[in-house]
Structure 1
Amino acid sequence: MGDIAVWLVVALVGIVLALAAWRFFGLRSRGTTVVLRPLPASGTHGWRHGLVRYEGEELRYYKLRSLAPVADVIFDRQALHLASHRDMSAREASFMAEGSRIVVMEHGNEQWEVAVDMRTEMALRAWLESAPDVRQERPNYRVLKRRITHLRRR
């Protein structure tokens, strides 16, 4: 019985290490580093380091300290828009990259703040502005089905 428990622990540690390696090496090289937090928030609470990837009509956010094989937050291109921006506070500047500024995004009825550099903000703005009008798009039934099943799991 003791040998089985040891092997189960070794297998579990191996799975965790494999997920960490995939997350670190697989995502890190193919994304843009950002710092994100949901609003309302106060002070410096709620900021999470991670990276974003543009995948079709979705902006996917992966937390730096997460081992999940899927995105932690998914923003739909048609529901996302940039509301405003602001400079970092002195306390925020202590743990964010120099030259970053805070962009307030609205996604449906949620608000988020994301700390980005100038190039990342331009890329995000260009990606949003280049989206085709909703009236011109044909519905992708696979994406709709995935969204419905994702909402049911919440």
Structure 2
Amino acid sequence: MKIKVGFGYDVHKLGEGEELWIGGIKVEHTKGSIGHSDGDVLIHAICDALLGAANMRDIGFHFPDTDPNLKGIDSKILLSKTMLLLREAGYEVGNIDSTIALERPKLKPHIPKMQEVLARVMAIDQEDIAIKATTTEKLGFVGTQQGIAAYATVLIQKNK
């Protein structure tokens, strides 16, 4: 069995009146992510981690923000397509460990639903997806509520 690890990071600017999509669910808030797609930083970080672990470049290579067909796309579709690429190369997900950095709103009550949605989209066990949330103690662009960031580490395996 071949085991690989990948790391992903994404950041989006927050804007008034935009929708806030995180982990495949809409979170009610006065600000939301600004992006070419729906701006789901968690899914984007997970996609980057998966693609990196499999040495398949990154999310921007496969789903460029210059593609007008991807404007406003649901990031769950990007994750589903990433999983197809991974499985076509013979890989399966072992587990995901992720962290979302956002000052407000508090995400703890939303994490179980995020895990449920991501597990369904990826066709993996919910227990294999860890999601943590943190603030930056009012420091930096996250702390001043100008943006949101997400980090993801993944383990993938290939049976030889």
TM-score higher than 0.5: no
Give the greater-gyration-radius structure (CA).
1
Q: Which has the higher contact order (CA 8 A, sep 6+)?
A: 2
Question: Which band: TM-score by shorter chain?
Answer: under 0.3
Which TM-score applies when normalising by structure 2?
Answer: 0.24
Which TM-score applies when normalising by structure 1?
Answer: 0.25
